[in-house]
Amino acid sequence: MCGRYVLATPIDELVRFFDAREAPGIDDAYLPSYNVAPTREVVCLALNGDGHRILDEYRWGLIPWWAKDSSIGSRLFNARAETVTTKPAFRDAFKSRRLAILADGFFEWRKDADNRRQPFYLTRRDGAPMAFAGLWDSWRDPSVAGGTSRVRSCTIVTTGASAEVAPIHNRMPVVLEPAALEVWLDADGPDQDEVEALLSAQPSGILEARPVGRRVGNVRNDDPSLVEPVEGEVA
């Protein structure tokens, strides 16, 4: 699973790196965070109707269009790659509403020798931002008259762990390389088999992990010290 991650890279740098455009107002709304948790507004990359890459914010935790209320979103912050094409909450979005959730790195936990949960921070070895495979949906609040209250939400697709992540946790986000990102975002071109093929474990050698302090376990803590290494064995 992936329940916490980091995105502190400035919007203008993300625009350049991912060759994207900014949605109106995103630069003012964007809040860098070292402890992003579900239900937050998060920065995502998607294609607009003209095929241009657009950076915009979505609520993390998918609310399917058919949901009666928004509470389901607090549980659907991850979508398993193995069932993303069949599970009712995700299968429609997989076909036509794919995006990428942007991150600098993500956290996973493992139990240490004292049976305490030790967090690790995982990043790309090359220091580049990450693009997690994600899905999105648009939900209308039925309690609001006129149908004008809509929430755009997203979920991170997870898969089996790579060699670097496996000693820490058995799951990880699907991290898209540039060619895979191009295919993933295109809802019209590739067939389903080609898209599904992107959801395998990350090749070894791309990520690195380091142990960090346990303060990250409290979502109210949000500062750069959360990603500073602590003494311990690096997975």
Active-site positions read 2, 108
Q: Which amino acid is present at 47?
A: L
180: Cβ–Cβ under 8 A, 6 or more apart, which residues? 198
CB 185 within 8 A of CB 100: yes
Q: Which helix (H) or strand (E) holds 93?
A: helix 91-96
Report the alpha-carbon distance of residue 83 to residue 90 in Å, rounded.
8
d(CA 47, CA 52): 5
Chain center to CA of 153: 11
